[in-house]
Amino acid sequence: MHTDWRRICDEFMQATSYTPEGWEAWWADREYSNTERPETYLTYPDAVCHIPLGDPERPPGVDLWQVFEQRRSKRNFLPEAMSLNELNLLLWSSQGITADMGQYQLRTAPSSGALYPIETYLVVNAVEGLEPGIYHLDVKNWQLEGIQMGDFRAQGHAALRGQAMTEHAAVNVIWTAVMERCRAKYFERAYRYVWWDSAAVMENFLLAATGLGLGACAMGSWYDDLVHDLLGIDGVQHFSALTASVGRIAGEDWLHDRRPPTPSDFLKKG
């Protein structure tokens, strides 16, 4: 199917542009109350398990400037597990609460209007002390909620468009957007804001992975419906916004670590 991409894009950009002339009319019949904001925290009270994360243990002596310099997309994952503390550090760096403003809380990553529409789901393949399965991060109570336990390596790989790295990653992360949190304030322009928010979360995650000596790579390419089915979300009010793979890499040569794994490469290491 050949879609009319130019018209679709132009209509969206025009309909969501602010202009000096249009500013007052835009807001004339719209209201937003900071005290009546939609619920910020998604939890799964009926989750099959709850894994408390607690405060992660920080490794000493990471040089911020070196982290910027060394960050690369690394896809050639070793068949080794990550530790739960490493996963906790990645999650805290990208979504951890760091200040309490009373009616709302602030986090490690910035968020437009402090609305925090982004949720974190994990397809866990190999994390020490964590049963493989699909998890959701309960940000408020800082715990993982098990949605479905079992080996979802193949299903995750398929939903993430079969990208080779996703099969070998210790964890595949799927960041989703709960639209109403952002829509309630920014209306149609919220469909810009949620992508920006997801990128802020993703970049913190990638930099933390670099600081830990792990490999990580963001992905903008996945099969939307398959991902939504995997997570059990509707794909309209709550949809996938960005994904990433993370895991151990050899760490000897970034060019080697950077390229996707090939079957022969993997046999050598396995």
Q: Which residues bind ligand FMN (CB under 6 A)?
A: 72-73, 75, 163, 217-221, 258
63 versus 69: smaller Cβ distance to ligand FMN: 69
CB 175 within 8 A of CB 239: no
CB of 73 to ligand FMN, least distance (A): 4
CB of 244 to ligand FMN, least distance (A): 9
27 versus 68: smaller Cβ distance to ligand FMN: 68
CB atoms within 10 A of CB 110: 13
Beta bridge partners of 107: 97
Q: Which two tokens stand for residue 216?
A: 């990580």
CB of 198 to ligand FMN, least distance (A): 9
CB 91 within 8 A of CB 120: yes
| Residue among 24, 31, 38, 132 nearest 87 (CA) | 132
CB of 245 to ligand FMN, least distance (A): 9
50 versus 258: smaller Cβ distance to ligand FMN: 258
| Residue among 216, 197, 198 nearest 206 (CA) | 216
Q: What's the helix, strand, coil split of the chain in %, to 5?
A: 40, 20, 40
State how far the Cα of 216 lies from the Cα of 207, in Å rounded to an integer.
Answer: 9
133 versus 211: smaller Cβ distance to ligand FMN: 211
CB 175 within 8 A of CB 117: no
CB of 163 to ligand FMN, least distance (A): 6
85 versus 210: smaller Cβ distance to ligand FMN: 210
| Residue among 116, 140, 122 nearest 43 (CA) | 140
110 versus 150: smaller Cβ distance to ligand FMN: 110
Give the residue nearest to ligand FMN (CB).
220
CB of 219 to ligand FMN, least distance (A): 4
